[in-house]
Amino acid sequence: MLVEAGLAVQFVFGLTILVRAIQKGSISRYPLFYSYLIYYLAAGAVDECIYVWAPAHYPTFFWIKFLTLVMAEFALLLEIGDHLFAQYPALRQLARMMTVGIALVFCLAYILPPLLERRPSEVAIFDLVKRSALTKGVIFLGLGVTARHFRIGVGRSIMGIAAGLICFLGINMANFALAQSLGRIQYGAVFSAVGIFSHTLMLLVWAVSLWRIDPALATGSPNPPLSGGPLMSELGKYNRELDRLLRR
Amino acid sequence: MIAAIVYSILGLLLLVGVAVFIRSSRQRPEELEERRELDGSVWDTEGLSVAERIFDPRDYCWLRDHAGFPRLAESLRRSRQRMALEWLGAVRRSFDDLLKASESPDTDAAGSPVNWNLLRQALRFHFVVGYAYFVVRFFGPYHSLVPSCRWMRPETSGRFGHERLGPAHSSRLF
């Protein structure tokens, strides 16, 4: 009953976000985010139909949907980084590289190694979810620290998208870790309830923050370009001068 | 069970991170214009010559060893330390301003993709400035920053004795 009610609330929130986006014409501003949301709602609906009419196929479909969403969240973080630094092209590029760099390093050193071990698939999936959630958290913290370091104002909409996603990831990571540790018998019911809660909270945060969409900012730097040559030669000059001064 | 506790704490930290992010993003950036104007001149000829004087220990050594004013020399060292920290802060802000104000090209001068190079240059710069800040803050402005030579050994302990200081330095100070 709780699960059904939670799913119904999620659908209401999700559809509200989509209807508002269509009304405001803002779908093209956050294409990856709305693709993620549409996939989430559509796959959720199909998921429920399979659960009712073909329950034998439900677990397979559920995990395919779930793992696709886990991967899509990396793309969502790229979009969040792009919007955080939309007005600063060099910083935007830096944020993209930072996102890709952290994701690659964590994938190779942290996410993939346990997946290559011979273990039951359930344990592997739990590990994948936990570790990828932590990786996304680190990426988000990197983006947040960079935005703060450069004193960049963050719009309400993109802040809401990021906050909703990270709230979900944080709760989900703890939930999967506890489920893996305590087992299905002890934690099964709580696992399901917390899972529904984390998704509902994410959609609620998104619905509230996207009720009013921030006005679109012009891309490109709002500051006049500094004197000097192209960016890379200027950065190189900074590094060379610093080395020369400090390496005495 | 330990892993579950660790991941739960990390999940909680993520939520705290979100709260901090929301709180900090509500504060509108207040630029310190006066400070920014100073930052702009860090890399011009005058700014570089000031930086060279800040990190140059010869005045300090002359005052301490040649003129025989060790307490005055110590006061000069502390003052230079503050200036060095200010200068490093200004250098970092100047670098950040450059990144904020720049349009990002697709390729650099050599025609290679600029993405990773940009990340490398930015990380390298912040690493060097952070390291220099640490050394100046804890060991003073006259320590060598390169570990391979004279690391953790005061350059002032006899290396800049009377024989290394020419008369030009005394006239420069007074």
Which of B8, B12, B18 to substitute to test the interface with A, most A CBs within 10 Å?
B18
Whether the predicted pLDDT of B152 surpasses 50: no
| Strand intervals (E) in chain A | none
Kindly state the tokens that stand for A240.
């060379």
Which of A94, A99, A104, A205 to substitute to test the interface with B, most B CBs within 10 Å?
A94
A101 touches chain B (CB under 8 A): yes
Same domain, B19 and B52: no
Any idea where the domains of chain A sit in the sequence? 2-246
Inter-chain residue contact A93 with B114, CB threshold 8 Å: yes
Same domain, B69 and B104: yes
Query: Rounded to an integer, what distance in angstroms lies between the CA atom of residue B7 and that of residue A135?
Result: 12
Q: Nearest-CA neighbor of A95 among A44, A162, A50, A49?
A: A162
**pLDDT at res. A216:** 64
Mean predicted lDDT score pLDDT of chain A: 86
The interface pTM score, or ipTM, of the predicted complex is 0.78
A184 touches chain B (CB under 8 A): no
Same domain, B10 and B48: no
Same domain, B14 and B44: no
Same domain, B14 and B89: no
Maximum separation of any 2 CA atoms in chain A, in Å: 76
Which of A176, A242, A243, A244 to substitute to test the interface with B, most B CBs within 10 Å?
A242
Residue A215 CB burial class (10 angstroms; 0-12, 13-18, ≥19): exposed
Residues of B with CB below 8 A from A98's CB? 119
Q: Determine the average pLDDT of the residues in A145-172.
A: 89
- A210, A20 in Cβ contact below 8 A? yes
* Torsion from C-alpha of A28, A31, A34, A35, nearest 10 degrees: 130
Q: Nearest-CA neighbor of A143 among A85, A86, A87, A90?
A: A85
Give chain B's domain count: 2
Whether the predicted pLDDT of B118 surpasses 60: yes
Residue A179 to chain B, least CA–CA distance (Å): 8
For the segment A53-67, what is each residue's pLDDT rounded down to a tens digit? 988 888 888 888 888
Whether the predicted pLDDT of B156 surpasses 80: no
Residues of B with CB below 8 A from A224's CB? 101
Residue A170 to chain B, least CA–CA distance (Å): 4
Q: Determine the average pLDDT of the residues in B92-97.
A: 85
Same domain, B45 and B111: yes
Coil, strand or helix at A134? helix
A vs B, Cβ pairs < 8 A, gives 191
**pLDDT at res. A77:** 93
Residues of A with CB below 8 A from B17's CB? 137, 140-141, 144, 166
Parent domain of B117: 33-173
Kindly state the tokens that stand for B99.
């990144």
pTM: 0.77
Query: Which DSSP letter does residue B160 get?
Result: T
Minimum Cα–Cα distance from A98: chain B residue = B119
**pLDDT at res. A73:** 92
Q: Determine the average pLDDT of the residues in B49-74.
A: 85
Q: pLDDT grade, residue B164 (50/70/90)?
A: very low
DSSP class per residue in A184-208? HHHHHHHHHHHHHHHHHHHHHHHHH
Maximum separation of any 2 CA atoms in chain B, in Å: 71
DSSP class per residue in A6-42? HHHHHHHHHHHHHHHHHHHT-GGGSHHHHHHHHHHHH
Query: Which DSSP letter does residue B155 get?
Result: T
Q: Which CATH class is domain A2-246?
A: mainly alpha
Query: Rounded to an integer, what distance in angstroms lies between the CA atom of residue B77 and that of residue B86?
Result: 14
Whether the predicted pLDDT of A204 surpasses 80: yes
Mean predicted lDDT score pLDDT of chain B: 72
Same domain, B53 and B104: yes
For the segment A98-137, what is each residue's pLDDT rounded down to a tens digit? 999 999 999 999 988 888 888 887 888 888 889 999 999 9
Same domain, B83 and B50: yes
Same domain, B68 and B16: no
Q: pLDDT grade, residue B103 (50/70/90)?
A: low
Minimum Cα–Cα distance from B84: chain A residue = A246
Inter-chain residue contact A90 with B20, CB threshold 8 Å: no
Sign of the alpha-carbon torsion through B47, B51, B52, B57: positive
